[in-house]
């Protein structure tokens, strides 16, 4: 019974956040130090939860590479709880695959795309792997925190605070804080 009350509280709290969604728009931030024939991308995405309230939502990232102007190849992953009930608040978490259409990030609610050097790309993959089989804590060590840690590694402008932030609000704020960033020429 207590678990049900916590879930209702969490849904109510997240409903009050009133996000502004940047769907349909894409900001491309070039964080490379030099050009290369292989391009490395990390895109930040959000989606609704697969329940009747569609809350609290989920954010995740797509890792993609593109060689010599060919098609992008990659996969998307997010940090999620692996059990239901109270485990949705505090419990085991893991990096799980997400469904995304390669090369059409904007169709998948991906609104921030960072182009990075291979070394930064590898660092984000290392961070991703470090989250495997770790503890999920809603509002502290969750999908938003994972995206924010990754954005920090890349060097993106990040929101001042992400504690108890809804995933779509986070992605919208990440979009806003990186829109208008002047990309260096390569």
Q: What is the pLDDT of residue 108?
A: 52
Q: What is the pLDDT of residue 7?
A: 34
Percent of the chain with pLDDT over 70: 79
Top-confidence residue, 7 or 176: 176
Q: What is the pLDDT of residue 84?
A: 82
Q: Using the 8-state DSSP alphabet, how is residue 135 labeled?
A: E
Least confident of 3-12, 22-31, 177-186: 3-12
pTM of the entire structure? 0.81
Q: What is the pLDDT of residues 150-163, one digit of tens each?
A: 999 999 999 988 88
Average pLDDT over residues 1-13: 34
Task: Reply yes or no on whether the pLDDT at 129 is more than 60.
Answer: yes
- Cα–Cα distance, 1 to 36 (Å, whole number): 56
Burial class (CB in 10 A: 0-12, 13-18, 19+), 90: middle
Average pLDDT over residues 127-132: 96
Q: What is the pLDDT of residue 143?
A: 95
Top-confidence residue, 163 or 43: 43
Q: What is the pLDDT of residue 49?
A: 78
Q: What is the pLDDT of residue 52?
A: 75
Least confident of 18-22, 89-93, 169-173: 18-22
- Cα–Cα distance, 15 to 49 (Å, whole number): 13
Q: CA 162, 93, 134, 5 torsion: positive or negative?
A: positive
Average pLDDT over residues 39-68: 89
- Cα–Cα distance, 65 to 111 (Å, whole number): 17
Task: Reply yes or no on whether the pLDDT at 11 is more than 80.
Answer: no
DSSP string, 25-44: --EEEE--SS--SEEEEEEE
Average pLDDT, the chain: 81
């Amino acid at each position: 019974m207590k678990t049900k009350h916590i879930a209702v509280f969490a849904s109510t709290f997240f409903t009050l956040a009133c996000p502004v969604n940047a769907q349909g728009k894409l900001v491309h931030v070039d964080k490379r130090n030099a050009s290369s024939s292989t391009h490395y991308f990390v895109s930040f995405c959000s989606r609704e939860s697969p329940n009747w309230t569609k809350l609290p939502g989920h954010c995740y990232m797509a890792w993609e590479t593109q060689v010599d102007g060919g098609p992008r190849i990659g996969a998307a992953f997010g940090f999620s709880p692996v059990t239901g009930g109270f485990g949705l608040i505090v419990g085991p978490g893991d990096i799980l695959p997400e469904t995304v259409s390669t090369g059409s990030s904007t169709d998948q609610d991906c609104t921030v795309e960072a182009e990075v050097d291979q070394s930064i790309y590898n660092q984000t993959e290392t961070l991703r792997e470090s989250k495997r089989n770790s503890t999920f804590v809603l509002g502290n060590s969750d999908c938003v925190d994972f995206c924010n840690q990754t954005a920090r590694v890349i060097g993106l402008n990040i929101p001042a605070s992400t504690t108890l932030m809804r995933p779509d609000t986070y992605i919208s704020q990440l979009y806003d804080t990186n829109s208008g960033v002047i990309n260096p020429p390569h």
